[in-house]
Amino acid sequence: MSRTLTLFRTLMLISCGLALAAGGLQAQERRQAPEHLTTTSINLEDVPYPHPVQFLDLQLYGNDIRMAYMDARPTGSPNGRTVVLLHGMNWYSEYWEETMERLTAEGFRVIAPDQVGFGRSSKPIMPYSLHDHVSNTRAILDELGVEQAAIVGHSMGGAIATRFAFSHPDVATHLVLVNPIALTDRRLDRGWTRLDDSYVGRRDSRDYEAVRRNFERYFVTWDEKWERYIEINYGWTLSGEWPRLAQVLALNSQWLYQDPTVYDRPHVQARTLFLSGAEDGPDYRDQARQTVEDIPDAELHLIENVGHVPFFEAPDAFYPPFIEFLSTGP
């Protein structure tokens, strides 16, 4: 055997050994689910909400639907204004607790719905779209007799809020975008993921470490008080109804590719504030600036060293400009 071949094989064995050692290390580092974790209801009956939950009955695609929402009245001197809070894809209206407390103390009425397919709302197997989320939100406002409101959207809720302001300029007085997703037209730089592939991937993802990393990536600085959201989301994967929820989440993700809000932005008439954590991906700052350029007279406020959920991670930096903006005239 030549010296060259012998050296090559030696290097290959060393390389394979290092790879196996690294793989073993990674396996050891994978965090296991704490033993106390149990099943979470996919309808969150076992998760307390900060305000009474009401329901609006809807008929969608032949399904009888209940859409959950909270309607919190002012605790401070009423200012006659209403704010609608729209949650993200991996969240539900319960996480707006502090936001609702601060806004109601300032005299605002606050309405926080669980979109159909999320939280305590119904989770039918049916088509989902931004248009339906907007129409369902508008139906709650009509039910409550609210003619105008400031629309605040976080993450997925930012896309819904943008479409709402575009579709209902007579209703949306203000628009606040908090780390919105889908800021570009994905059809221009990537392929479409088939619904079945998305569903199977979600259904089979019952790994605690994957759930944990999915939440930790939202933050620059992690705090143990957010552990409960990891526990809730992992608890869903232990439920016998997890395959249904996984399918609903897959159905709800289709609009990300099929229905970008990029082209809505120039037509938004509501006074707009883009208020977000700055550390939300490698191109996020550029995408935020482009979004603000697209929306007439929009304002940009990025909070440095903060990630995807600034009202959790940096409340002292988030709430002052947030409340000041909502307190201004439309």
pLDDT in tens, 242-293: 999 999 999 999 998 889 999 999 999 999 999 999 999 999 999 999 999 9
Candidate CATH numbers 2.40.50.60, 3.40.50.1820, 3.40.50.11540, 3.40.50.300; the one for domain 53-326: 3.40.50.1820
Other CB atoms within a 10 A radius of the CB of residue 234 amount to 24
pLDDT surpassing 50 at residue 77: yes
Cβ-Cβ contacts under 8 Å for 144 (sequence gap 6 or more): 71, 111
**Mean pLDDT across the stretch 139-145?**
98
Mean pLDDT (whole number) for 186-203: 82
Domain positions in the chain are 1-30, 53-326
What would the DSSP string read from start to end of 47-111? S--SS-EEEEEEEETTEEEEEEEEEEPPSSS--S-EEEEE--TT--GGGGHHHHHHHHHTT-EEE
What is the tens place of the pLDDT at every residue in 18-40?
Answer: 343 334 434 447 899 998 899 99
Specify the pTM.
0.90
Does residue 203 register a pLDDT over 90? no
